[in-house]
Amino acid sequence: MKRYYYFIAFALCCFHVARAQNNMSIRTVKEGLFIPWEIIYGPDDHLWFTQKDGYVCRLEPQSGNMDTVYYEPQTVIRGEGGMLGLALHPQYPAEPYVFLAYLYEDAEGYKERVVRFTYNNNTLINPQILLDEITGANNHNGCRLLIADDKLFITTGDAQNTALAQNTQSLNGKILRINLDGSVPVDNPIPGSPVWSWGHRNPQGLATYNGILYSSEHGPDTDDEINIITAGRNYGWPNVHGYCELPAEIQYCIDSNIAEPIYAWTPTLAVSGLEYYNHPMFPQYANSILLTTLKESKLLQLELNTAGDSIRNVSVVQGLNAGRLRDIAVAPDGRIFVSTSNSNANGTGAREDKILELYDPEMTSILPLTANNDEWMIYPNPAMDMVNISFLDDRLLSSQWNYQIDNIQGQTLQQGALELSTLHVGTLYPGLYFLKLSNEKGTVLFRRLVKW
Neighbours of 404 (CB within 10 A): 18
Judge whether 271 lies within some domain: yes
Judge whether 441 lies within some domain: yes
pLDDT confidence of 365, banded at 50, 70, 90?
Answer: very low
How far is the C-alpha of 150 from the C-alpha of 231, rounded, in Å?
16
Pair 3, 243: CB distance under 8 Å: yes
pLDDT confidence of 367, banded at 50, 70, 90?
Answer: very low
Is pLDDT at 451 greater than 80 in this prediction? Answer: yes
Q: How far apart are the first and last CA of the chain?
A: 56
Pair 221, 313 in one domain: yes
How far is the C-alpha of 390 from the C-alpha of 412, rounded, in Å?
22
Question: What DSSP letter does each residue of 211-267 carry, written as one string?
Answer: TEEEEEE--SSS-EEEEE--TT-B--TTT--SSS-SHHHHHHHHHHTBPPPSEEESS
Which residue, 298, 332, 359, sits at the end of a domain?
Answer: 359
Count of domains observed in the chain: 2
Q: What are the φ/ψ torsions at residue 4 (nearest 5 degrees)? A: -55, -30
pLDDT confidence of 334, banded at 50, 70, 90?
Answer: confident
Number of residues in the chain: 452
Is pLDDT at 407 greater than 70 in this prediction? Answer: yes
Pair 173, 55 in one domain: yes
Report the CATH number at residue 146: 2.120.10.30
The predicted structure's pLDDT at residue 306: 93
Question: What DSSP letter does each residue of 64-104 carry, written as one string?
Answer: --EEEEEE-TT---BTTBSEEEEEE-TTTTTS-EEEEEEEE
Pair 391, 282 in one domain: no
Pair 305, 431 in one domain: no
Put residue 122 in one of left, alpha, beta given phi > 0 → left and psi -120 to 50 → alpha.
Answer: left
Pair 41, 148 in one domain: yes
Is pLDDT at 18 greater than 60 in this prediction? Answer: no
Which residue, 359, 386, 402, sits at the end of a domain?
Answer: 359
Domain coverage including residue 407: 376-451
How far is the C-alpha of 97 from the C-alpha of 82, rounded, in Å?
21
Question: What DSSP letter does each residue of 370-384 carry, written as one string?
Answer: STT--SEEEESSSBS
Q: Which residue has the higher pLDDT, 28 or 12?
A: 28
How far is the C-alpha of 428 from the C-alpha of 405, rounded, in Å?
10
Q: What is the pLDDT of residues 202-259, one digit of tens each?
A: 999 999 988 999 999 999 999 999 999 999 999 999 999 999 999 989 999 999 999 9
Pair 228, 80 in one domain: yes
The predicted structure's pLDDT at residue 218: 98
Pair 329, 427 in one domain: no
The predicted structure's pLDDT at residue 36: 98
Is pLDDT at 16 greater than 90 in this prediction? Answer: no
Pair 11, 131 in one domain: yes
Neighbours of 414 (CB within 10 A): 15
What lies within 8 Å, CB to CB, of 398 at 6+ separation is none
Q: Which of 91-95, 328-332, 393-397 has the highest mean pLDDT?
A: 328-332
Q: Which helix (H) or strand (E) holds 152?
A: strand 151-155
Give the SS3 label for residue 10.
helix
Pair 294, 423 in one domain: no
- Across the range 367-394, mean pLDDT stands at 73
Judge whether 367 lies within some domain: no
The predicted structure's pLDDT at residue 297: 98
How far is the C-alpha of 46 from the C-alpha of 337, rounded, in Å?
11
β-pairing verdict for 299-304 and 311-316: antiparallel
Judge whether 382 lies within some domain: yes
Q: How many DSSP H helices and E strands does the chain contain?
A: 3, 31
State the DSSP code for 181. T
The predicted structure's pLDDT at residue 373: 56
Judge whether 269 lies within some domain: yes
Pair 102, 70 in one domain: yes
Judge whether 368 lies within some domain: no
How far is the C-alpha of 329 from the C-alpha of 409, rounded, in Å?
10
Pair 188, 173: CB distance under 8 Å: no
Is pLDDT at 8 greater than 50 in this prediction? Answer: no
Judge whether 297 lies within some domain: yes
Pair 437, 444: CB distance under 8 Å: yes
The predicted structure's pLDDT at residue 317: 96
The predicted structure's pLDDT at residue 2: 52
The predicted structure's pLDDT at residue 34: 98
The predicted structure's pLDDT at residue 374: 63
Which residue, 298, 329, 359, sits at the end of a domain?
Answer: 359
Percent helix / strand / coil, the chain, rounded to 5: 5, 45, 50
How far is the C-alpha of 310 from the C-alpha of 290, rounded, in Å?
14
Judge whether 223 lies within some domain: yes
**How far is CA 206 from each of CA 44, 144, 166, 215, rounded to the nearest angstrom?**
22, 7, 20, 5
Report the CATH number at residue 418: 2.60.40.1930
Pair 190, 269 in one domain: yes
Q: Which helix (H) or strand (E) holds 274?
A: strand 271-277
Is pLDDT at 53 greater than 80 in this prediction? Answer: yes
pTM for this model (two decimals): 0.84
pLDDT confidence of 13, banded at 50, 70, 90?
Answer: very low
How far is the C-alpha of 157 from the C-alpha of 143, rounded, in Å?
8
The predicted structure's pLDDT at residue 22: 58
Of 161-175, 287-301, 419-433, the one with minimum mean pLDDT is 419-433
Pair 349, 200 in one domain: yes
What lies within 8 Å, CB to CB, of 340 at 6+ separation is 36, 322, 323, 324, 325, 326, 352, 353, 354, 355, 356
Pair 38, 84: CB distance under 8 Å: yes
Q: Which helix (H) or strand (E) holds 299?
A: strand 299-304
How far is the C-alpha of 352 from the C-alpha of 53, rounded, in Å?
13
Q: What is the pLDDT of residues 276-324, one digit of tens each?
A: 998 878 889 999 999 999 999 999 999 999 999 999 999 999 999 999 9
